Structure 1
Amino acid sequence: MTESRHNSLVRLLPTYRLEPKNPFHTEKCESILKTVLESAFDEFEYTAEAAEAMVQKLSQTILAQVRKLNFDRYKLICIVSIVQNSMQGLCESYRCLWDKKLDKIAAHVYETPNLLAIATVYGLYFD
């Protein structure tokens, strides 16, 4: 019994590949971000409750569309922030370990008189 179970295991050999076949394209991601944000806020009025629901919806939509691009060996992180635009300042910052050669970022800012939306997609290379 252990012999048959042992033989059914799939054994994978290392590829020794150090770079992705389909690397992360910032321009394509920025295009997706722009399209999604502009279509989402056509008739949107800012309230804290509506913004909370919209952030979740936009993050899922953006990630689904970016995943369709099939970036090879990348972990994707999408962060969307929506704040009321009442002439105040805003500072957002994130920290992580970064590989200058392989890790990428795409971002888009959408602004109306009522709100400010920032969408960011991180493509982190995963070996």
Structure 2
Amino acid sequence: MADEEVGEEEELVDTGGAESETAISPIETQKPLAPPKYEVRPGLGEKFQAQNVRDIIMSTMQEQLMGRQYRADQAPRWAKVIANAVRQRVQDLDMKRYKIVVQSTIIEMKGAGVKCGQRCIWDPETDDYADELYRNDTLFCYTIVYGVYLY
């Protein structure tokens, strides 16, 4: 009885090996895969469109802030609405492989000066930014859009 079990196992192993050999035959050759394409630079005409983005920023700020007076309780909501609207409209430009980052700041005009700085580490050949400023008698809005190319 022990010999029969061993014999059956050997038969299973042998038939499994024969089937796998017939499945892989040297006659069946697959076409070689094309080498992968890695885009490390945007193509001609696909770079960040700074002037179009500036137009979008300015029109969005004017739509949202025209005729409004500064209100401390509403300014954060306005800034968020402007940033989201600008981001959506810039993404509609369909700049492939660009990460779009938008920052909008609204400050009350009281005669004080404002200084701010920004520092970014990026590739100056592919990455860019666009910014615009909107002012009226009571408020000051500065919006900046960064376009960072994803390698």
Band of TM-score, shorter chain: 0.7 to 0.9
Aligned residue for 1:60, secondary structure, equals helix
The structure with the largest alpha-carbon Rg is 2
Question: Are 1:116 and 2:140 an aligned pair?
Answer: yes
For 1:14, which of 28, 33, 36 is the aligned residue?
A: 36
Question: Are 1:97 and 2:131 an aligned pair?
Answer: no
The two structures have a TM-score, normalised by structure 2, of 0.72
Match in the other structure for 1:50 = 74
Match in the other structure for 2:56 = 32
Match in the other structure for 2:12 = none
Q: Alpha-carbon deviation of 1:105?
A: 0.5
Q: Which has the higher helix share?
A: 2
Structure 1, unaligned runs of 5 or more: 1-12
Q: Which digits, 9 at most, give the CA deviation of each residue in 1:56-75, with x for residues without a partner? A: 11110000000000111111
Superposition RMSD on alpha carbons, in Å? 1.8
Q: Alpha-carbon deviation of 1:18?
A: 2.1
Give the AA of the match of 1:19. Answer: R
Aligned residue for 2:78, secondary structure, equals helix
- What percentage of residue pairs aligned between the two structures are identical? 23
Off by >4 Å, runs of 4+ in structure 1: none
Q: Which digits, 9 at most, give the CA deviation of each residue in 1:98-126, with x for residues without a partner? A: 21111101000001110100010000111
CA distance, structure 2, for counterparts of residue 33 and residue 14 of structure 1: 37
The two structures have a TM-score, normalised by structure 1, of 0.85
CA distance, structure 2, for counterparts of residue 113 and residue 87 of structure 1: 11
Query: How many equivalent residue pairs?
Result: 117
Structure 1 stretch displaced more, 99-108 or 89-98: 89-98
Give the AA of the match of 1:75. Answer: K
Question: Are 1:125 and 2:149 an aligned pair?
Answer: yes
Give the AA of the match of 1:26. Answer: A
Aligned residue for 2:63, secondary structure, equals helix
CA distance, structure 1, for counterparts of residue 132 and residue 102 of structure 2: 12
Q: 1:80 to 1:16 in 2, by over 3 A?
A: same
Question: Are 1:61 and 2:85 an aligned pair?
Answer: yes
